[in-house]
A and B are shown apart, each in its own frame.
Chain A
Amino acid sequence: MLSLPEMGLYFSFLLFLIGLFTVMFRKNILVMMLGVEILLNAANLAFVSASRITGTMDGQVVMFMVMAVAACEAAIGLAMIISLYRAKASVEADDLKLLRG
């Protein structure tokens, strides 16, 4: 039926859907950040499956790059959320209308 890595590709895009859903339909910014982490993990899974399909190591190398980017993104994002919480004492996405977004 399906070889292991092709199944990996299917699951990675299912996880991507779930991450997208979390980011879109949740109000709490922290849970949105969790959604972004799911998106990045789905991308990692796709890279590792691709590395297994082609038999080369490039997929896993790029996976470590994505992991480094995810770490920096989470670090800065959470630092921002903390200072935002101190300013507005709430983490609801709706309260952030300063830029008329």
Chain B
Amino acid sequence: MGFQEIVFFVMGILAVALGGCLATRRNPVSAAMLLISLMVVLAGMYGMLDAHFAAVAQIIVYAGAIMVVFIFVMMLLNLPPEELRFGTLTVGEIILTIAGIGVAVALGTKVGQGYLVSALQLSEARAPLLPETENLRNVAATMFTDYLWSFELISFLILAAVIGAVVISKRRHGHAESA
């Protein structure tokens, strides 16, 4: 159990603890701030998994862009702290939860993990194309050659998101509204 494993384990436990604490916060803004710290801890974990550019991109995109909009929306909708709804669980939800936890535990056992890891071996992925250069160049080399089509489709996805965001937030004509 080298030092790296211990540090990674501690960060994992910290991430799970932050997630748990986040799920039970009454004030949405503190929940969002906890999610930002969760994302920074995850960026550290990516760094330890040798995904250096993923760590920096995670902070720039998730913690630096997506959460800014969450914070904007939460701050400006002056939301009252919400009382948590634990009591009223419907039967369907109980069954769903048990089934979910059951599947999760099955996946978590040694057999499940073995299945997961073996599933990864089947894919015919190539070895990194620029092995000893920066991690960033490897990712780019694989992305722009093997995953060419999904990269182009991503641009259409973002285009749709841009047009959708503009259309949704424009005021519908003849609809009085205060903001």
The reply to whether B128 and A56 form a contact with Cβ atoms under 8 Å apart is: yes
Query: Do A75 and B161 contact each other (CB < 8 Å), given the known contacts A11-B15, A28-B82?
Result: yes
30 A-B interface contacts by CB (under 8 A): A1-B1, A3-B5, A4-B5, A11-B12, A11-B15, A11-B45, A14-B19, A18-B19, A18-B23, A27-B82, A28-B82, A44-B54, A45-B46, A51-B49, A53-B117, A57-B125, A57-B139, A58-B147, A60-B54, A60-B135, A61-B142, A61-B143, A67-B61, A70-B62, A72-B160, A74-B66, A75-B161, A82-B73, A85-B77, A91-B79
For residue B135, which residues in chain A have a CB less than 8 angstroms away from its CB? 60
Which range contains the number of A residues in contact with the other chain? 35 or more
- A76 in complex: contacting residue of B35, B139, B168, CB < 8 Å: B168
**B: number of interface residues (CB 8 Å):** 84
Q: Which residue of the partner chain B has the closest CB to A5?
A: B49
Give residues in B with beta carbon < 8 Å to A. 1, 4-5, 8-9, 12, 15-16, 19-20, 22-23, 25, 28, 31-32, 35, 38-39, 42, 45-46, 48-51, 53-54, 57-58, 61-62, 65-66, 69-70, 73-74, 77, 79, 82, 84-86, 93, 96-97, 100-101, 104, 107-108, 113, 116-117, 120-121, 123, 125-129, 135, 138-139, 141-143, 146-147, 150, 154, 157-158, 160-161, 164-165, 168-169, 177-179
Question: Main SS of the interface on chain A?
Answer: helix
The reply to whether B66 and A4 form a contact with Cβ atoms under 8 Å apart is: no
Tell me which of B16, B104, B120, B164 has the highest count of chain A C-beta atoms within 10 A of its own C-beta. Answer: B120
For residue A54, which residues in chain B have a CB less than 8 angstroms away from its CB? 120-121, 123, 125
The reply to whether A15 and B16 form a contact with Cβ atoms under 8 Å apart is: yes
